[in-house]
Structure 1
């Protein structure tokens, strides 16, 4: 067994691998970029080595720097996690050349399955059904266009390299192809360094089911059942569960056999996943999508129902050990569901978010697992994938597991960074999700119903006002009556008025008078309501009328963050929003919807554009976002260039409306 293993990754997966290494008594080495200095994975590892600046290409994707760290710390093996170098065949070769064990499959298996075109050809030869399409390597834009027309719309453009939905585009007409091809190639090149595309028939009403396989170097290959991953957004998984509510025993065995045959076809060893797409209307028809030659994000749900530590099995197989079980020993116990917690704002089109974790509430309880790299003080930037954590629930039945997960999300909170937690709870309570009627288009169909942000309740505004009042009150006994900021005066006490604004909402006047222990609160011109509050650390207990609620609260930079009952609310003092509101209100102003990097500028000053014309592309957290002209008119300002970084809400362009253009010129 290895004495030292380097973990060539970051975030929650690095933390996950390091914890298993510790349980196995193996010395762990973490690597980190400048952006991750002091991150949780660096604190948990036995040794932490800096490997470069924030851009992944200069740190986590640098084969040279990762190997230097491994050699310098005496690591005998490298665990790549998922993403980054986990499916990079050149990295696997470099490890072999350096005499370091790559904890993953052989180079030949990565080569065969890492290229989707070759993968389809390989499994077809093994008798595994595949999605109809065109998989020739090196197709030009014209050939991709011809292939799409031949396959028939809608079609799916897919990068041959990589995964995770990066670069994938659904195209429904010939007119959409040029822009879709350009965008797919650009994103694929950025994410994987390879812009090769393939074309497949788009199976719209589909279910995404994958099978976990394990193989050792002694000829044993088994499967550990399947995971249902149909709840997706932009081809990115959101909720995963095991086993699938769709499959019966016969279908499970059939799909499992196909997965094992696909793995055997390339001499696979270690942990891997064979992904299938299933027609929801004809569930016995399934097609091979791809094989991920690495650990999957959603591996915890398989661990929950099998009792196996997949990271441990990866390490033992890499060390030459035999698998401890064969297929007849595999049993699936109960049901597990996982939700991915992302730094994104569902109410703003799921745009990635950034910030510093100011407060954190982690879920616990029977059957609950929380895989995370979060800690108070963690800086969430735009350099990497926006996934922050995974909340997992296990129970004897699917319904109990689902209910436990909803409850766990209700007792989770990240203060300081906007997340998709409320969206996840809404999704898990959708009637079709409750019934197990899943497909990859469900989230898109539900649209606003899942992302709607309700009005902030009166008690939350009251809690914010009382929290701010507590900050100004003297902590000890009152010596001088004039030291108490309770609005006291001759006659009736005065009201202290604060203007608070929730994201996307209008400023609200919240008035409070008295001391926090015995106050009155009023919203706008509404009735005054008795309220009281006390605070211990970051816990705020507030009683408004006859209802008492316990909040986790943080006040930072003019924003009060409150978390309670599954809801996190950020209320900014309005004065901090004035400048932004004035800039954003002008016609034709284009602002960055998230922090990121400008990758393409498609317009120039002086261009006449129609509303909706693409102006530039901003990439953040591995996703592209096209910024378009908000009105028809003339581009009169373009303050960014390709390669430039931009901040959230930074003004990047101005389109002067056509009617106002002459007046603009006269001025």
Structure 2
């Protein structure tokens, strides 16, 4: 076994790997960019090495700097986590050339399965069924469009070198093929450095089921059961569970054997995942999609139902140990469900968010596990993946696991950064999720009903109560407080004489409100970390930090609204003619210039954050009057990017008349 292992990643996966290293008595080495100098994974490791500035391309993706860090610290092996260089064959080979053990499969296996086109051809030859689609690599845009027309829309565009749903585009209209192919190439190039695409038939209402495999260097390959990953947004998994309610024992065994054959076909070693698309109405008809040649984000659910630590077995297999158990020894006990906590704002269309974590409470308790890369004071920016943590619940059956996970999400507090925790809690209570009648489109169809409409009145009441308490004077000399100085407006005559106090408040993205409170009409209890208010006989308790309030996984930032200051900074309504940044990020594409004539809905800009693109379109037909950004410009949320003067603008008409 190794003495020292370097973890070439960040966030929750780095913390999770370091935990197993510590349990095995292995010294851990973390690497970090300037943005992560105080990150939890740096504090958790035995030692840490700076590898560059904040951008991933200058730090976490620099193979030379990671190898140098390994040499400086005496590491014998490298764990790549997931993302970044985890499925980079050149990195695996560079580790081997440097005398380091790469805690993953051999470079040729990564190279083969990392190319989705070659991977499909390889597993098809091994007898594994594959999704109908384009054949051959390096297809031009025209060839891809022709293949899509031959297959028949709807089709799915996929980066050959990709994973995690990045760059995937569902195309339902032939007229949209050209634009969607261009966008998929752009995102694939930005995420993976390779814009090769393939096209596959889209299966309506599919289930996404994957099989965990484990292979040693002695020729033993087995599977550890399946995971259901059908709850997705934008082709990104957000909830996973093991086992799947869809499969019976016969189908589970058949899919497991297909996964084993896929792993054997590429000479796989270590922990990996074979992903299948399964028609919900016919589970026996399953198709190979791809193989992930690394540890998966959702691996904890497999660990909880099998009792195996997959990171430990990655280490043992890489150290040359044979697997001491057979396929018959693998049993699945109970049920486990995982939810991914991401920095995104459901109330703003799930756009990436950011900020500083002001308060943090992560759930624990019977059957609950939290894998997290967060800490109070952590800065969440737009440079890295938006996933912050994972909450996993295990129980003797699926219903218990779901209840425990919903309760754990309700107990999750992240203030300072908008997250999807409350949305996930509501999703897990959806009747189709509870019954197991899921497909990969369920979340997109139901998202609107799972996002609260507006801000509950008790949120404004709590925010106003905090401000009311902050206005109260401290006790004078001798501990006495002048009751006439208290902002509640106390007067002789009893509580009914208390005058109302109004506070102008605003939740970002919504219109400002003036909320009035009466100290004698509502019960307020304001503490340093919580505030409770009682309205209509119902008591509501919030966690609080700064101008943030949170409860049951949801959080709101309630600011003091100053219309004069807002107008001076441009933070107020920018106007119907203005295009503003929907999220903090970087402008990657500019398709117009000042003076250009544009049509309503025309794509003008692309803003990227946390590996997600957002297209900014013209709000109406008109002329580009202002354009304040260029490709590479970093922008803040709600920053004005451009102004489109509408056709028939009265000011312009008057000027022309003069």
State the TM-score, normalized to the length of structure 1. Answer: 0.94
Contact 1:409–1:425 (8 Å) recurs in 2: yes
2:628 equivalent in structure 1: 639
Query: What's the CA shift for 1:356?
Result: 0.5
Contact 1:533–1:543 (8 Å) recurs in 2: no
Choose from 593, 603, 619 the match for 2:608: 619
Contact 1:587–1:657 (8 Å) recurs in 2: no
| Structure 2 residue 595 is the aligned partner of structure 1 residue 594 | no
> What CA distance in whole angstroms lies between the structure 1 residues aligned with 2:481 and 2:45?
53
State the TM-score, normalized to the length of structure 2. Answer: 0.95
Query: What's the CA shift for 1:544?
Result: 4.7
Paired residues for 1:6-405 under 5 Å: 6-405=6-405
Query: What's the CA shift for 1:398?
Result: 0.6
> What CA distance in whole angstroms lies between the structure 2 residues aligned with 1:432 and 1:297?
24
> What CA distance in whole angstroms lies between the structure 2 residues aligned with 1:75 and 1:66?
11
Contact 1:155–1:201 (8 Å) recurs in 2: yes
How many residue pairs end up in the alignment? 648
1:655 equivalent in structure 2: 644
> What CA distance in whole angstroms lies between the structure 1 residues aligned with 2:302 and 2:490?
65
Query: What's the CA shift for 1:583?
Result: 5.1
> What CA distance in whole angstroms lies between the structure 2 residues aligned with 1:302 and 1:423?
24
Instruction: After superposing the two structures, state which structure 1 stretch, 498-507 or 480-489, moved more.
Output: 480-489
SS at match of 1:51: strand
> What CA distance in whole angstroms lies between the structure 1 residues aligned with 2:212 and 2:443?
25
Query: What's the CA shift for 1:452?
Result: 3.6
| Structure 2 residue 584 is the aligned partner of structure 1 residue 565 | no
Instruction: After superposing the two structures, state which structure 1 stretch, 178-187 or 252-261, moved more.
Output: 178-187
Query: What's the CA shift for 1:663?
Result: 3.4
SS at match of 1:60: coil
Instruction: After superposing the two structures, state which structure 1 stretch, 470-479 or 327-336, moved more.
Output: 470-479
Contact 1:87–1:110 (8 Å) recurs in 2: yes
Choose from 528, 548, 554 the match for 2:545: 554
Q: CA RMSD in A?
A: 1.9
SS at match of 1:187: helix
> What CA distance in whole angstroms lies between the structure 2 residues aligned with 1:484 and 1:79?
62
1:524 equivalent in structure 2: none
1:307/1:484 CA distance change after superposition, 3 Å:
farther
1:479 equivalent in structure 2: 480
For structure 2, the 5+ residue unaligned runs are none
> What CA distance in whole angstroms lies between the structure 2 residues aligned with 1:443 and 1:388?
20
Contact 2:422–2:552 (8 Å) recurs in 1: no
1:483/1:465 CA distance change after superposition, 3 Å:
same
1:322/1:664 CA distance change after superposition, 3 Å:
farther
SS at match of 2:404: helix
SS at match of 1:189: helix
| Structure 2 residue 503 is the aligned partner of structure 1 residue 498 | yes
Instruction: After superposing the two structures, state which structure 1 stretch, 580-589 or 35-44, moved more.
Output: 580-589
1:461 equivalent in structure 2: 460
Contact 1:587–1:656 (8 Å) recurs in 2: no
1:97/1:454 CA distance change after superposition, 3 Å:
same
> What CA distance in whole angstroms lies between the structure 2 residues aligned with 1:610 and 1:93?
50
> What CA distance in whole angstroms lies between the structure 1 residues aligned with 2:530 and 2:490?
31
Contact 1:456–1:502 (8 Å) recurs in 2: no
> What CA distance in whole angstroms lies between the structure 1 residues aligned with 2:635 and 2:297?
29
1:317/1:346 CA distance change after superposition, 3 Å:
same
Contact 2:524–2:531 (8 Å) recurs in 1: no
2:566 equivalent in structure 1: 578
Query: What's the CA shift for 1:550?
Result: 3.4
SS at match of 2:219: coil
> What CA distance in whole angstroms lies between the structure 1 residues aligned with 2:32 and 2:158?
31
Contact 2:571–2:639 (8 Å) recurs in 1: no
Query: What's the CA shift for 1:664?
Result: 7.8
SS at match of 1:31: strand
Contact 2:7–2:31 (8 Å) recurs in 1: yes
SS at match of 1:253: helix
Contact 1:210–1:228 (8 Å) recurs in 2: yes
SS at match of 1:640: coil
Query: What's the CA shift for 1:578?
Result: 3.0
SS at match of 1:38: coil
Contact 1:335–1:397 (8 Å) recurs in 2: yes
> What CA distance in whole angstroms lies between the structure 1 residues aligned with 2:275 and 2:55?
30
> What CA distance in whole angstroms lies between the structure 2 residues aligned with 1:541 and 1:169?
45
For residues 7-65 of structure 1, what are the alpha-carbon distances to aligned partners after superposition, in whole Å with 9 as ceiling and x for unaligned? 00011101101111111111111111111110000001011111111111110011011
